[in-house]
């Protein structure tokens, strides 16, 4: 190779090297720019991610908040799709339907006993009884007006409202019957007094003169029965004015049982006494309250035509009070396993003169109701035909003994 050729190649090599250096510098610069851009993008992504996480957290918190409200609402809520398949259900609804989420989601709402006859129509409301509770079930469409897009069914336990309404109606009815009874008794009292006197004279005059003496005897005993009914009626009508004493209810129940002992033994009725330890003291009239208890015991005995068992006692006071007009109450129950009372009669048994017995006056429970009411309490009944009845008197505790306790269900024993 000659010298000129060699220098030419060297020049080319130099130039190529120069180009390489410049390209590599450009590449370095581009790389730096790209790196900076990537860092920017990374930062932007980090910020966006942080915002997304925050918004997800906020959404979760909101969901939890709404879920908390939904689950803690005092009414049952069941949401369905357009075709009535359950999509969402809260705690109260599950309690009312006695079902879990897993049994409900995706199922048609009519599969739930109390909802079986509820129509999917805005404003539809149906009341259903289940065990001891009454539920009001009402429907509205999820989107308000227009196409429903789903349905909301509210399930509200209205047992307490119904119970107080029935009690108020009973008191109203009894007070007007009481007024009428008082007027009738007043009108009958005078002629009856003279009949009683004349029957007694007749009996004296006819002594030894059979068969007239026997007839006069029947007349006198008939008049005595009417007088007895009348005095019961008067007691019911004029109401009772208790003579207040501090009372221990356990003793009261024991005394009433002692009084009824011959009757209970005669019918071979097994007595089961149950007293809660944490009963409170009450203020009341022992004579009247014993009479009320005795009436309930007599009814229980008469309800157990072929013997049976009588559960009687007081209910333990526990935490979170069963109250009546703000005061904790002492409950006294009398439960039998006799023939029970048909549902259609339950509303009337406290009415004076309502009786299903050939020898009954129908005043027993009306008097019980009056006595308990005059003590500021209430009397209630639960009964099932063929299973028996449970009467519960709830009497307010003396205020200084007020507890925050609730009382267990006395009729569940």
Ligand X SMILES: Nc1ncnc2c1ncn2[C@@H]1O[C@H](COP(=O)(O)OP(=O)(O)OP(=O)(O)O)[C@@H](O)[C@H]1O
Residues forming the site for ligand X (CB under 6 A) = 295, 299-300, 303, 336, 338-339, 341, 349, 354-357, 360-366, 389
Query: Nearer to Mg ion by C-beta: 156 or 302?
Result: 302
Nearby residues of 209 by Cβ (< 8 Å), 6 or more positions away = none
Is the Cβ–Cβ distance between 75 and 95 less than 8 Å? no
Q: How far is the CB of 268 from ligand X (least distance, A)?
A: 17
339 binds, among ligand X, Mg ion, none (CB under 5 to 8 A by kind): ligand X
Check whether the bond before 211 is cis (ω within 30° of 0).
Answer: yes
Q: How many CA atoms lie within 13 A of 392 on its CB side?
A: 19
Q: Give me the residues paired with residue 392 across strands.
A: 333, 380
End-to-end CA distance of the chain: 123
Q: How far is the CB of 269 from ligand X (least distance, A)?
A: 12
Q: Which of 340, 364, 405, 410 binds Mg ion (CB under 5 A)?
A: 364
361 binds, among ligand X, Mg ion, none (CB under 5 to 8 A by kind): ligand X
Nearby residues of 334 by Cβ (< 8 Å), 6 or more positions away = 293, 296, 297, 300, 310, 311, 312, 390, 391
134 binds, among Mg ion, ligand X, none (CB under 5 to 8 A by kind): none
Q: Please report whether residue 338 would count as binding Mg ion according to CB under 5 A.
A: no
**Backbone φ, ψ for residue 201 (5° rounding):** -65, -45
Query: Nearer to Mg ion by C-beta: 90 or 299?
Result: 299
Q: How far is the CB of 349 from ligand X (least distance, A)?
A: 4
How far apart are alpha carbons 336 and 333 in whole angstroms? 10
Q: Give me the residues paired with residue 336 across strands.
A: 310, 389
Measured from each CB, the residue nearest to Mg ion is 364
Rounded (10°) angle between helices 364-374 and 159-205: 120
Q: How far is the CB of 177 from Mg ion (least distance, A)?
A: 16
Q: How far is the CB of 232 from ligand X (least distance, A)?
A: 7
Q: How far is the CB of 253 from ligand X (least distance, A)?
A: 16
Nearby residues of 273 by Cβ (< 8 Å), 6 or more positions away = 253, 254, 257, 312, 313
Contact window for Mg ion (CB under 5 A) among 7-15, 73-81, 85-93, 361-369: 361-369
How far apart are alpha carbons 389 and 192 in whole angstroms? 37
Contact window for Mg ion (CB under 5 A) among 23-31, 70-78, 225-233, 356-364: 356-364
Residues 275 to 314 in contact with Mg ion, rule: CB under 5 A = 299
Q: How far is the CB of 286 from ligand X (least distance, A)?
A: 21
Query: Nearer to Mg ion by C-beta: 364 or 388?
Result: 364
Question: Site residues (CB under 5 A) for Mg ion?
Answer: 299, 364
């Amino acid at each position: 190779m000659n010298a000129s050729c060699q220098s030419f190649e060297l020049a080319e090599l130099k130039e190529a090297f120069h180009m390489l250096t410049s390209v590599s510098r450009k590449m370095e610069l581009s790389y730096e720019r790209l790196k900076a851009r990537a860092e920017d993008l990374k930062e932007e992504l980090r910020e966006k991610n942080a915002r997304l996480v925050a918004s997800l957290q906020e959404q979760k918190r909101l969901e939890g908040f709404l879920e908390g409200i939904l689950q803690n609402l005092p009414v049952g809520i069941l949401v369905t799709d357009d075709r009535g398949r359950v999509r969402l259900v809260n705690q109260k609804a599950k309690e009312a339907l006695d079902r879990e989420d897993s049994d409900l989601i995706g199922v048609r709402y009519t599969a739930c006993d109390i909802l079986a006859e509820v129509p999917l129509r805005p404003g539809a409301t149906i009341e259903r009884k289940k065990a001891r509770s009454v539920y009001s079930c009402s429907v509205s469409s999820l989107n308000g007006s227009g196409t429903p897009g789903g349905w909301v069914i509210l399930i509200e336990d209205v047992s307490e409202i119904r119970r107080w309404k029935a009690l108020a109606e009973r008191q109203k009815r009894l007070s007007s019957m009481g007024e009428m009874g008082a007027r009738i008794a007043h009108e009958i009292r005078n002629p009856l007094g003279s009949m009683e006197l004349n029957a007694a004279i007749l009996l004296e005059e006819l002594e030894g003169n059979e068969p007239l003496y026997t007839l006069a005897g029947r007349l006198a005993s008939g008049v005595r029965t009417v007088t007895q009914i009348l005095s019961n009626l008067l007691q019911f009508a004029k109401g009772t004015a208790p003579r207040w004493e501090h009372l221990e209810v356990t003793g009261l129940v024991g005394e009433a049982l002692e009084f009824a002992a011959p009757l209970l033994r005669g019918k071979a009725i097994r007595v089961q006494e149950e007293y809660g330890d944490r009963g409170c003291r009450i203020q009341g009239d022992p004579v009247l309250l014993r009479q009320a208890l005795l009436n309930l015991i007599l009814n229980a005995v008469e309800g157990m035509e072929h013997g049976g068992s009588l559960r009687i006692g007081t209910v333990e006071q526990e935490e979170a009070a069963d109250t009546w007009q703000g005061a904790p109450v002492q409950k006294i129950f009398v439960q039998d396993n006799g023939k029970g009372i048909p549902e259609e009669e339950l509303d009337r048994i406290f009415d004076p003169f309502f009786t299903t017995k050939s020898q009954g006056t129908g005043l027993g429970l009306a008097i019980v109701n009056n006595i308990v009411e005059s003590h500021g309490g209430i009397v209630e009944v639960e009964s099932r035909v063929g299973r028996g009845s449970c009467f519960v008197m709830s009497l307010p505790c003396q205020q200084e003994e007020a507890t925050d306790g609730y009382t267990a269900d006395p009729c569940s024993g």
